[in-house]
Amino acid sequence: DQQVKQNSPSLSVQEGRISILNCDYTNSMFDYFLWYKKYPAEGPTFLISISSIKDKNEDGRFTVFLNKSAKHLSLHIVPSQPGDSAVYFCAALRGTYKYIFGTGTRLKVLA
Amino acid sequence: SQTIHQWPATLVQPVGSPLSLECTVEGTSNPNLYWYRQAAGRGLQLLFYSVGIGQISSEVPQNLSASRPQDRQFILSSKKLLLSDSGFYLCAWSGDKSSYEQYFGPGTRLTVT
C-alpha cells in the first residue's frame, strides 16, 4: 500500500526553465509534507516543507504547493540549474515520527 | 553544528552472517533517531525509530533489530542476513519538534551475497 506516490520516475528540463515535481498521497491524516534532494551514494538533504494547514511555502528558488482536496503536492524549482540534477523525494508525516517517502523522481537539468 | 556519522560506507556480507551498522550524532542532545532502507528502485522505507535511550519502535516486521545504547548512538543489527536485506541503509535524526526536518547520514550500501 503506497500511501505516497511519485508517478514520474524521471524528468528532464532545460536550464533556466521551471521544474515541477509532483507527489500524490492517499491518507488525509498526514500533518506535514517535506521534499528532499538526493545525490547518488549520499543521504537525502532537506529542501523545503509545508504544514497541512497551509497551501504554499516558498524558499528562494523552491516553492511547494499543497492541494488538500486533490491530495496532491508539488515542488517548483525556478529557475532550474544543472546543480539541481538529483533524485527528489517527497515525504509525508503522520504524527511526530512516522515519515512515509515516495519512490523519487530523477530530475535532469540540461545545460 | 550537528553532524551524523554512519559506518561502514559499504559492506558485502554472505547470507546467514550477522550485521551491525552504527550511527552516531554530534552536536545535539536527545535526538529522535531513525533507520531507513532504500531497496533498488524503491523509496525510503522506515524500519525503526527511537525517541530516547532504550526506546525502539519497529515499523516493519523483519529479521533486523535496532538498539540505542547511548543518547546519540543508534545501531542496526541482524543475527542472520537474508538476500532481501541488500540495500542502502540510512540513519537520520530529527530534533526540533516544531520543524519536523530530518537530517540523514551518508548511508551504508549493504550487499548480501
Cell digits of residue B6: 554512519
**pLDDT tens-place string over residues A34-86:** 999 999 888 999 999 999 999 999 999 999 999 999 999 999 999 999 999 99
Q: CB contacts < 8 Å between A and B, how many? A: 57
Blockwise average pLDDT, block size 10, chain B, 113 residues: 90 96 93 90 88 89 90 96 93 80 93 95
Put simply, the answer to whether A98 touches B45 (Cβ < 8 Å) is no
Put simply, the answer to whether B44 touches A97 (Cβ < 8 Å) is no
Alpha-carbon distance of A21 to A90, in angstroms, equals: 9
Using CA atoms, how far residue A87 sits from A9, A59, A102, B24, B109, in Å, is 9, 19, 11, 25, 17
Beta bridge partners of B1: none
Of B41, B57, B101, nearest to A46 by CB-CB distance is B101
Alpha-carbon distance of A99 to B22, in angstroms, equals: 21
pLDDT of residue A41: 82
